[in-house]
Structure 1
């Protein structure tokens, strides 16, 4: 397990130490963020991580400047072995956004909840990207196929929509200003309250 969102240390890693004992390992980062020119303050010069996900024995972490880094668990301390050259940001213009990392079927997905107004209380658009592991670049996804994707503050997951009974090619999400789930229909490009969306589908 890895914890991000810290400035010092850069991240905390919970790993086995000395046989069967688990311990927290603190790790600072002395690598200058390749996207440092977006925020030239010395405080943000080195990579600080805001989001991370475990995948195939490694951690894939996004920095404050939206650079992707691969963190490998090595002894005695974890090591950053690769960083992306591009930023992980929405393809459309936005004033605010929140990002979520999700692992599914051997892939890492990145979801953006995008707000175009001054407030982040309303989500105006949603975008999803797939990580190209070889290039460490993000490829926009236009369809989820039979999958339904769920993202929230405390949990992210992907299910087979046909097996569970949810609508396929949809992204379900919660937001701080919402009292329930919202659903983004990838095919229609529309956001609706989840209960209203289900009623509309049943009436068709």
Structure 2
């Protein structure tokens, strides 16, 4: 009796089956992935899966990774193996990854910013800017900077991911000048602002515009086209018991809103607390409206003012806590969790989060989302 022979599946047909899975099913799969390696594996299956992954806002569904400032040797094969910095995952605290950027690069080069998955450094020997992918170590260099050197006060950030054709690097500093470089361009563009820009305390790209904050908590909007322009915004403060000043501030995008996080003094000596405000743009007068509870959101912050803050939705899905701020201290391999509206933070306790640490200290821990997540 003849045996029926099964028709073998060709390689192309099997890949075609995977690529033709319905988008709603794939979106459901992505929404349930928490592990960083699982997300990378999903994006590596085929071109259509990668395209769907890049179009899905995965970053708000999982926590950022923490690039530690402490050196480790990995892998331990030879004595000349370069030291690497560990990368820690709040969703899997017992798992450690390693950055492909050498610890020597992270510790020796002047750090001027972190943006869209890339640490940004200044190379004094050749006067150019170096972008280093915090995960892969891939590097991009700019043309030679037109000035003699880049001051320590410069703040660098990208207006869009490096993969975007509209990505611009801007350098901000105290003074009347702003420098711009577009990826692939052969030269820097120098803008005379006609306005004395205060030293940037924190900056964020929000809804296509660059918002900056100075140490006096004045809010500025920077635009590059059609001409470079800096505008100071008049903002009211709305809420009960708003502290008149703060030790430290961050701007964070959270769920389509711009938040201001402040570390403020309390009545108790050597104690601090956290205040959060959202920028209300509903009418002509901008307002900082006090937020009493973050709900099902968690914020991720570090001391270094050149590092962005991040927000993560529904942290309970990976074992995190809502209405909390995850704060990484300099020199630590971990983070503290501060609940908004909780009791005062006693800065004299050895393991308390030192929220008023040096804002320019480097190396320091950095919360990162891989560039492929941008």
* TM-score, with structure 1 as normaliser: 0.66
- Post-superposition Cα deviations, 1:58-113, rounded to whole Å, max 9, x if no partner, equal 111223543212222214x4223x4322478x92155x511111112211111112
Partner of 1:201: none
Secondary structure at 1:124 match in 2: strand
Partner of 2:185: 21
Instruction: Name the CA distance, whole Å, in 1 between partners of 2:345 and 2:265.
Output: 12
Partner of 1:30: 194
Higher RCO (C-alpha under 8 Å, 6+ residues apart): 2
Distance 1:52 1:11, change over 3 A: farther
Q: Does 1:55 align with 2:206?
A: yes
Displacement, 1:187?
4.1
Partner of 2:232: 83
Q: Aligned ranges for residues 15-164 of structure 1 at < 5 Å?
A: 15=182, 20-21=184-185, 23-31=187-195, 46-50=196-200, 51-75=202-226, 77-80=227-230, 82-86=231-235, 91-94=242-245, 97-115=247-265, 124-133=272-281, 134=283, 135-152=285-302, 153=304, 154-160=307-313, 161-164=315-318
Look at both structures and tell me which one has the larger radius of gyration over its CA atoms.
Answer: 2
Q: Does 1:173 align with 2:173?
A: no
Secondary structure at 1:131 match in 2: strand
Given that 2:180 and 2:188 are in contact with CA atoms closer than 8 Å, whether structure 1 keeps it comes out as yes
Distance 1:13 1:173, change over 3 A: farther
Instruction: Name the CA distance, whole Å, in 2 between partners of 1:110 and 1:137.
Output: 11
Given that 2:266 and 2:272 are in contact with CA atoms closer than 8 Å, whether structure 1 keeps it comes out as yes
Given that 1:150 and 1:173 are in contact with CA atoms closer than 8 Å, whether structure 2 keeps it comes out as yes
Instruction: Name the CA distance, whole Å, in 1 between partners of 2:236 and 2:194.
Output: 19
Displacement, 1:24?
3.9
- Post-superposition Cα deviations, 1:108-153, rounded to whole Å, max 9, x if no partner, equal 1111123569x9xx76111111111343321111111011111112
Structure 2: runs of 5 or more not aligned: 1-157, 159-169, 354-374
Distance 1:191 1:63, change over 3 A: closer
Distance 1:146 1:24, change over 3 A: farther
Cα RMSD (Å): 3.4
Partner of 1:3: 171
Secondary structure at 2:247 match in 1: strand
| More helix as a share of residues | 2
Instruction: Name the CA distance, whole Å, in 1 between partners of 2:236 and 2:331.
Output: 27
* TM-score, with structure 2 as normaliser: 0.39
| More strand as a share of residues | 1
Given that 1:151 and 1:157 are in contact with CA atoms closer than 8 Å, whether structure 2 keeps it comes out as yes
Structure 1: runs of 5 or more not aligned: 32-45, 196-204
